[in-house]
């Protein structure tokens, strides 16, 4: 058995084609993130990867829609989204495949 600490990984990303990672693979990425109210990410798009976000707790706004605990959001390649935490919580993100640099900010 191995035990890891989430703070030892970059922004919660623990599996994927990057370092450090628990499992280094090009097949997918996994991330666990904790947010406080007001945390946000700018509007962006992935050109290759499909992104699945599983909401554990908290309330968020993604792509102009409110999401909360128990919701699962699937973004296909090319679908833009932004992210804002309305009430602190946590989520897990899975991206397939793991492609370095596949996050493109949308400039307005």
| Structural domains of the chain ordered from first start | 28-98 (2.60.120.10)
Angle, vertex CA 78, rays to CA 105 and CA 39, nearest 5? 40
Q: What is the pLDDT of residues 35-90, one digit of tens each?
A: 999 999 999 999 999 999 999 999 999 989 999 999 999 999 999 999 999 999 99
Under 8 Å between Cβ of 88 and 35: yes
The first and second tokens of residue 93, run together, are: 């993100």
Task: Give burial (CB, 10 Å; 0-12/13-18/19+) of 39.
Answer: middle
Q: What is the mean pLDDT of residues 28-36?
A: 98
Q: What is the predicted pLDDT for the residue at 107?
A: 85
Query: How much is the pTM?
Result: 0.92
Angle, vertex CA 23, rays to CA 22 and CA 29, nearest 5? 100
């Amino acid at each position: 058995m191995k035990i890891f600490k989430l703070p030892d990984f970059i922004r919660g990303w623990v599996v994927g084609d990057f370092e450090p990672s628990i499992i280094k693979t090009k097949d997918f990425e996994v991330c666990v993130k904790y947010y406080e109210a007001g945390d946000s990410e700018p509007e962006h798009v992935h050109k290759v990867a499909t992104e699945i976000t599983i909401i554990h707790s908290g309330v968020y706004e993604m792509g102009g829609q409110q999401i909360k605990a128990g919701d699962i959001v699937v973004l296909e390649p090319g679908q833009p989204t932004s992210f804002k935490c309305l009430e602190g919580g946590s989520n897990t993100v899975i991206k397939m495949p793991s492609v370095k640099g596949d996050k493109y900010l949308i400039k307005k």
